Amino acid sequence: MIGAEEFIFIFGLLLLLGVLSSKISSRFGVPALVLFIGLGMLFGSDGPGGIEFDNPALAQLIGVISLVLILFSGGLETDWKLVRPNLAPALTLSTVGVLITAVLTGFFCVWVLKFSVAEGILLGAIISSTDVAAVFSILRDQRTNLKKEVASLLELESGTNDPMAVFLTISAIQILQQGWGEIDRVILNFILQMVVGLLLGYILGRTYAYFLSRIKLPSAALFPVFSMAAALFTYGLTSLLNGSGFLAVYTAALIVGNSDIQFKTTQIRFHQGVAWMAQIVMFVTLGLLVFPRQLIEVSLSGLAICFFLMFVARPVSVYLSVFWSKFRIKGLTLISWVGLRGAVPIILATYPLLAQAEKSNLIFNIVFFVVISSSLIQGTSLSWLAKKLNLTEPMPEEISSPSIKLPVHLDAEILQFTLSEESKLVGQNLLKLKLPPGSGVCLIMRGKEVLTPLQATTLEANDTVFVLANRESLPIVQEIFSEQA
């Protein structure tokens, strides 16, 4: 049993190494999750670190909390206007596609591993969801910009496919323990979880957006704390009411992120940092949980399952799920290849361990091996394939936003608005905006130019307007700039 000082030292060291290892990911295109897991394995009982950690329950708790924070951050950053056109194919892929992947992989596992049908479906369900967050991290590091229609589909799928995988895993464990006689109740439970999760996510998201746009707190620093507490509360309440907590968290964050709230930029940046820390903590913890020497024993079967997922299960599920959509062969091919397994399968692999299901340890090791193999093979080739299929766009030129530091005691914020072509403000003179007392336009970014209010007296479409507003004027300023024609 290590003492408090040793624990704090090791925790800080692992976080520092995790942050520094992200540079390796950026330089060589290796998914960050592989490096974070590798850190955990190095410090684990089989590595030179020698930390004894064999607590699936604690690992699962850390993983779930981390996923809640990561999903909430992703939802905040999702632009609803961009993903809305691909809502139907994304939801079909995250439900029907996940189910097809789980079933096909399950029967392959029955054949390869000589599992029972229930055991095979359980393993297939665990590794049925993808981690597209890792994909965009790789693309960003390799300066590859996917075409918007493909990127938006993958973005929405990544936020909505986890609930289906969680449901299938829990259902497969129930069938394994109780038999196939309860299949009708399992299906009804799934429908209930999705409905409750979506409904509560919408209601709570609207509630949070209302409060975050109007509530007065003693300090601006408390707003990110409020939103983080909201994410955890949403998951907990929804799960207690037998709903999908992950779906509720993503839905609530999507609503909040697309609403006019106070200190929005600050909150998004805060949650980006929290999400990065959650990833490091989660993957290092999962790396500590595994015993590397046991992975050697499942390497052949793990590779077989990994290749089946990449070349059969994922492509079949994609083509069968969204063949009716606007995506053509090239787009479907790239979407098929974007099937990296991530944190969710490893966390789900702890469920059979805690349920003491037969062959649970073997399942956990296979899942762990598949996740690492999938990330390495698909992650390092993704950018190359996207360019070969001509599904990339030029990287947008980076425009340096002005950095304006406000005194910490000043209860105000610099708001940023980008005017759409439909905005009523396009063509208006700045003097006629009727901004409330305590607010005013600081500057305007037009293309590559940074203009003062004296230089740009009339607003144009696609202008980015920076407005200084105190607390009392925030709601009025947000209302003025959110009006559409």
Instruction: Return the pLDDT at 226.
Output: 93
pLDDT on residue 397: 47
In a domain, 288, yes or no: yes
**Same domain for 37 and 75?**
yes
Q: With respect to residue 407, please indicate whether it lies within any of the assigned structural domains.
A: no
Residue 33 in tokens: 């999750």
Is residue 383 located within the same domain as residue 471?
Answer: no
Indicate the range of 293-302, 355-364, 475-484 predicted with least confidence.
475-484
Angle (nearest 5°) at CA 62 between 60 and 63: 60
pLDDT band at 240 (very low <50, low <70, confident <90, very high): very high
Per-residue burial over 321-334, b if 16 or more Cβ lie within 10 Å, else e, is bbeebebeeebbbb
Among 338, 358, 393, the domain-final residue is 393
Number of alpha carbons in the 13 Å side-chain half-sphere of residue 178: 13
Which is nearest to 202 in space by CA: 139, 267, 249?
249
Inside any domain, residue 52: yes
Examine the domain organization and report whether 237 and 275 are in the same domain: yes
Residues 228 and 151 in one domain: yes
Residue whose pair of structure tokens reads 């079933």 in the numeric block:
103
134 & 216 share domain: yes
Same domain? 314 vs 443: no
Most confident of 200-209, 264-273, 416-425: 200-209
Mean pLDDT of 397-407: 49
16 shares its domain with 160 = yes
Segments in 78-131 forming alpha helices (H): 80-83, 87-92, 98-113, 117-126
Mean pLDDT of the region 232-237: 96
The verdict on residue 333 lying in a domain is yes
Q: How many CB atoms lie within 10 A of CB 2?
A: 11
The tens digit of pLDDT for each residue in 141-190 reads: 555 677 778 877 887 787 778 778 888 888 888 888 777 666 777 778 88
Q: What local confidence, expressed as pLDDT, does residue 407 receive?
A: 58
**Structure confidence at residue 399 (pLDDT):** 45
Total domain count, the chain: 2
Select the highest-mean-pLDDT range: 27-36, 241-250, 340-349.
Answer: 241-250
Estimate to the nearest angstrom the gap between the alpha carbon of 367 and the chain centroid: 20
59: left (phi over 0), alpha (psi -120 to 50) or beta: alpha
- Asked if residue 206 belongs to a domain, the reply is yes
- The parent domain of residue 423 ranges over 412-482
| 334 and 427 fall within a common domain | no
Instruction: Count Cβ atoms below 10 Å from residue 135 Cβ, excluding itself.
Output: 27
Within-domain flag for 472: yes
pLDDT digits (tens, 9 = 90+) for 148-160: 788 778 877 877 7
d(CA 178, CA 362): 21
Residue 79 sits in a domain of what CATH number?
Answer: 1.20.1530.20
Query: 376: which 2 tokens?
Result: 């390495």
Residue 404 maps to a domain: no
Asked if 69 and 284 count as a contact pair (C-beta separation under 8 A), the reply is no
**Do 420 and 389 share a domain, yes or no?**
no
Q: Which of 365, 393, 421 is the last residue before a domain boundary?
A: 393
Q: Are residues 327 and 223 in the same domain?
A: yes
Q: What pTM, to 2 d.p., does this model score?
A: 0.76
Domain final residue, candidates 393, 422, 437: 393
Q: How far is 225 from 227, CA to CA, in rounded Å?
A: 6
Give me the amino acid identity at 403: S
Asked if the model's pLDDT at residue 366 lies above 60, the reply is: yes
Confidence of residue 307 (pLDDT cuts 50, 70, 90): very high
pLDDT at site 277: 87
Residue 452: which CATH number?
3.30.70.1450
Nearest 5°: phi and psi at 421?
Answer: -70, -20
Output 393 or 229, whichever has higher pLDDT. Answer: 229
Q: Are 465 and 438 in the same domain?
A: yes
Whether residue 267 is contained in a domain is answered as yes
Same domain as 359, residue 418: no
CA 78-63-227 angle, 5° bins: 45
In this prediction, residue 401 has a pLDDT band, given cuts at 50, 70 and 90, of very low
